[in-house]
Chains A and B, each alone.
Chain A
Amino acid sequence: MAKIAMDAVSIAAPAVPPALTCRDLSAAYGSRTVLDGISLDIHAGSWTAVVGPNGSGKSTLLRTLAGLREPRTGTISLQGRSLSAWPRRERARRLAWLAQSSSATDLTALEVVALGRFAHSGWLAHRQAVDDAAMHRAMVATGSLSWARRRLSTLSGGERQRVHLARVLAAEAPVLLLDEPTTHLDPPHQEEVALLLREQARAGVCVVSAIHDLSLALAADRLIVLGQHGVVGHGGVGDALSGDWLSAAFRTRVDIVDQRGVLLWRPALGARPRD
């Protein structure tokens, strides 16, 4: 028995480093500090929602984690290696980022999604079958295949957002940083995006998304709750509810109700005075 126990220990998978880590991260716009002393470990195979009031630094956190702005202090690691040490295209293969507002380019939806494969296919745009397959999967998943040949400038905001989401998914990166992926989407499509993110997480992807809609955010596996003065809490949704992190972050009472296993935010609609 002792032998078996020894073997079990030795063949156990080594501790997997977090997909994304930051230590003592701070960011500022001029003299205004937006993020201060943030330390996070975000693991693969989970969907983490970043929530917080306007101006709490959700987008700044995602942009900094994506390497799009230099942190004032602190370090960021992607898959155990410093973010800045990754060669540019290698990094883009491992980390994909979705902007909060999507641009109305004159490119077709297909060309935009193909750009998601840039880190794989390079300057000559010589797409292989594997690139086509990834693009096809992403466009099917986001329901944007039917507009493949339409210019983005002729699509509605919601349709455009789904094309950009397809572009991010087409990269097939193990880490996805999505800034408001449900912007412009109607409620059924918001739900479908939430299911898609959950599906990605189940497939082993590390999904981090800033989400405005609290009910949607509560469908995530974990929450990073940002307040005006940094992180209020980081952990499972249960921890967030038991610790009442949301009320602390928004500085008002936030009521969450359990509707047959689905957590929903119940707005007070002015029935309650603010703290």
Chain B
Amino acid sequence: MNALRPHAANVRGPSVARRSRLAIWLVCCLVVTLLLTCVSLIAGTSSVETSWSWLVSPDSQASVVLWEIRLPRTVGAWLAGALLGLSGAIAQGVFRNPLAEPYLLGTASGAALGVTISLIAADASFGGLEWIGKLGLTGAACVGACAAIALTITLARGVIETTSLLLAGIVVGFVLSAVMSLLLLAKPEIWRAVQIFMFGSTAFLSWSSTGLLATVLCICIVPALLLARGLDALTLGDDTAQSLGLSLPALRLSLLGLVSLGTATTVGQIGIVGFVGLVAPHLVRETLSVNHRQLLIGAALCGGALLQAADLLSRWVIRPSELPVGAVTACVGGTYLLFLLWRRSRWMR
């Protein structure tokens, strides 16, 4: 290959330009997060002036509102968004599909059904089902999400065939939604409560739920970063990844386990919030050329900031009332995806 002899370049790590771009991006993300956190503290149903006076000269009411309601809410929203972003990036890598999202294994419908059953059981008129009511909405959502994932994996006969998994996830999602609709028909008075859950809400986040989200984020992100090379290898195709010495079933099962844990926990805490897990990895890919290790970190940071911003908007737009945070993420995320589509079609022309 004499005609193609090397140019002066070495094979050690990414270029300086790429590394500095990544550093700038990460710093920007952290600055935005800090700004959003500060703004979230002074944004609420009370006026900005009141909030500001609380910050300057705190009293007992101020400390409750700021440190027991607003701060855990915004920190919790960041953590939940980070988990969704991370889960979305992993799901897109496992399925090699940029439209994959954390809920595609049927988690959303499973969690919604879990909540519905829990609300019905809490009514205590159903003998033998009281224990479900005792799980609480959060626990029921988590159990429902996990059961949906187990059902999806069973129907797909394992995790070898990603197409089967996708199809099984869609089927499980539809069937569980149908069951939930039937239950709601039989018990229409719980519809309002289920609706709040299905649109997503960060209003109920407390320090304990924030602690849980932080723990799960730590549990998920460490193995995800370790397995990031496997996600890189999967982009070369199943056969090539296998020929490199990877065990695909073990890799996929581990990664989907992380997606399931992250999604089930998030759904349990804030309900169904769409688009964050789908859009966050795209935002990173659009601005940076990254491998999966960087993508996972970027998607988590980006998802956190996105959900924090959506939470802020949901409180701000029609205050003193609140918009469902899921509706805000759907509007913003959907618009962004349309923009991507428009740009791609222009580029193709």
Interface residues of A (CB under 8 A from B): 63, 66, 68, 88-89, 91-93, 95-97, 99, 102-103, 105-108, 110-116, 118-119, 123-125, 132, 135-136, 139-146, 148-149, 151, 164, 188-189, 192, 195-196
Contact = CB atoms under 8 A, between A and B. Distances in A.
A119 B244 contact: yes
B11 A142 contact: no
B47 interface: no
Contacts of A97: 239-240, 243
20 contacts: A63-B239, A91-B245, A95-B243, A99-B236, A103-B235, A115-B233, A115-B236, A115-B244, A118-B233, A118-B245, A119-B244, A123-B227, A123-B230, A139-B6, A143-B4, A145-B6, A145-B9, A146-B7, A149-B9, A195-B1
Contacts of A132: 10-12
A100 to B, nearest CB: 10
Interface in B80-132: none
Given A125-B229, A143-B4, A92 B9 contact: no
Contact of A146 (B6, B11, B246, B291): B6
Contacts of B240: 97, 99, 103
How would you classify the secondary structure of chain B's contact residues: helix, strand, loop or mixed?
Answer: loop
A103 B289 contact: no
B188 interface: no
A143 B5 contact: yes
A145 to B, nearest CB: 4
Interface of B: 1, 3-7, 9-12, 14-15, 18, 226-227, 229-230, 232-233, 235-237, 239-240, 242-247, 285, 289-291
A99 B243 CA distance: 10
Given A115-B232, A143-B1, 10 more contacts: A63-B239, A99-B236, A106-B289, A107-B235, A115-B244, A123-B226, A125-B229, A142-B1, A149-B14, A151-B289
A123 B240 CA distance: 16
A88 B241 CA distance: 12
Contacts of B291: 107-108, 111
Q: Looking at B1, B3, B229, which has the most chain A CB atoms within 10 Å of its CB?
A: B1
A140 B237 contact: no
Q: Considering the complex of A and B, which 9 residue pairs feature the smallest CB-CB distances, nearest first?
A: A143-B4, A92-B245, A89-B245, A105-B235, A145-B6, A97-B243, A119-B245, A146-B7, A135-B11
A88 B245 contact: yes
Contacts of A123: 226-227, 229-230
How would you classify the secondary structure of chain A's contact residues: helix, strand, loop or mixed?
Answer: helix
Given A143-B5, A145-B6, A110 B11 contact: yes
A114 B244 CA distance: 11
Nearest to A134: B11
